[in-house]
Structure 1
Amino acid sequence: MSREKEQTIALSAVFQAAELVSILAKTGKVDNESLKPLLDSILMLNAASTEDIYGGQWDCRSNLALGRRIAQQALGKERSSVNPDTLRYALSLIHLENKLSKTPEMLSQIGQSIINIEQKKAHYESVLHDNMLASISGMYQDTLSKLPFRIQVHGDSRFLQQPQISNQVRAILMAGIRAAMLWRQLGGKRWHLIFKRKALLSALEARH
């Protein structure tokens, strides 16, 4: 698999997280088929490949299809059709992860939290369980929320004030940070979204 292809898997996950936050904040609902692979990726510490982090064949309907489509629109000629909040969240996730990467103590704290949450998972049937979402949300609050740069989520306050939904929002942001970290580890940089758009688009559009 080419480096650009791997980068686009991570980028699709970033955009999927951004879009889900945007939808959830405005409607109070989110598609679990798009949500689950993102949340599972947070606990995936020893994947054999980039694809495996998101459940294998990444362009299947059930894992990163939503993020892949939005990434194609954002990098291509349909940029204006992408929700402005989604673009803002995606760029903010990349920016926030860059700040996190310079904070080794916080990275260590997140690593320990992930191990603890992974152990809890055995007690619940799915990472989508409210208690699992609350644990991932708590990890975000205890770490990333304390950095000077914060992602401001805009939406309907009737939804955002509900603890269950605010937990979901923070859990999705945590998954977005995981994807942004993978993007950086694979050599992705913010300026690539402008100057390497053609190569990234080609990789996004390839079927294999």
Structure 2
Amino acid sequence: MSRSLHDQTLALAGIFQAAALVREIAHTGYCNEAAMETCIRSLFATDPETTLDVYGGELSDIRDGLQVLSTVFAQQARPQDAEVLRYVLNLIHLESKLKRKGDVMDVLGNRIEQARHTASHFGYTHSNLLSNLASVYSDTISTLGPRIQVSGNPNMLQREDNQHKVRALLLAGIRSAVLWRQSGGHRWQLIFKRKKVILHARELLR
């Protein structure tokens, strides 16, 4: 896997896309289903040739993530920006814990592989798959602690289907965080390389 700024930006956009969708669902109960499908599909991209292949091979698949990255990362002025950024930083922190837990990584890999049949049979946004992936998240990532506290509309967060979507998307966010680290991403880069990442995200959007 390449370790260029380009690849790091794409993987970071994957984390931002998942985080933004979590926020949308938590507040409204709805989200861009195509963007969600990209995130969920990335969980099953286990042997990609390029970083972009993880997200479907087209920049349009990760456009929402690039857009959120280029705005939230740049200003962080609105409450919703701070919320998305909190999820992103939490996901990166949890992934750093996950990489030190080989046993949990093994369980995670096996469970996602088992879910592949459900994905191929029903599709990436079907309730059966989302429920399956939500349980994978609960049984693996949630044990690493501390858990990500999702804020939003209590009426939306109490709905089981929304809970499944949120957990499945957080799992996809972890997938992108793994990819970000594999492409050379480090937490210090979020401070020292922030402007370069934002500029590259905007170039890709053009």
Deviations 1:108-147 (A, max 9, x none): 00000111001222321x1111000011101001111111
Q: Secondary structure at the match of 2:146?
A: coil
Residue in 1 that maps onto 2:132: 135
Summarize the alignment of residues 82-161 of structure 1 with structure 2, pairs less than 5 Å apart: 83-124=81-122, 126-161=123-158
Residue identity in the other structure for 2:28: T
Q: Deviations over 1:16-75 (max 9, x none)?
A: 1111111100111111011110000001111111011101122x2xx1111111111233
Q: Which residue of 2 aligns with 1:43?
A: 44
Partners of 1:128 and 1:155 in 2: CA distance: 22
- Which of the two has greater helix per residue? 2
2:34 aligned residue: 33
Give me the whole-angstrom Cα distance separating, in 1, the residues matched to 2:91 and 2:3. 24
Q: TM-score of the superposition, structure 2-length normalised?
A: 0.93
Identify the residue that residue 14 of structure 1 maps to in structure 2.
15
Give the superposition deviation at 1:194: 0.9
* Alignment match, 2:190: 193
SS at structure 1 position matched to 2:150: coil
The aligned counterpart of 1:182 is: 179
Match for 2:170 among 169, 173, 179? 173
Q: How many pairs were matched up? A: 203
Whole-angstrom distance in 1 between the partners of 2:119 and 2:21: 23
One-letter identity of the residue aligned with 1:53: V
Separation in 1, partners of 2:67, 2:173? 16
Q: Unaligned stretches of 5+ in structure 2?
A: none
The residue matched to 2:49 in structure 1 has which SS? coil
> Which of residues 66, 69, 82 is equivalent to 2:67?
69
Give aligned-pair identity as a percent. 35
RMSD of aligned residue pairs (Cα, Å): 1.5
2:77 partner SS = helix
Amino acid at match of 1:198: K
What are the ranges of 5 or more consecutive residues in structure 1 without an aligned counterpart? none
Tell me how far 1:156 sits from its aligned partner: 1.2
State how far apart, in whole Å, the 2-side matches of 1:69 and 1:93 are: 19
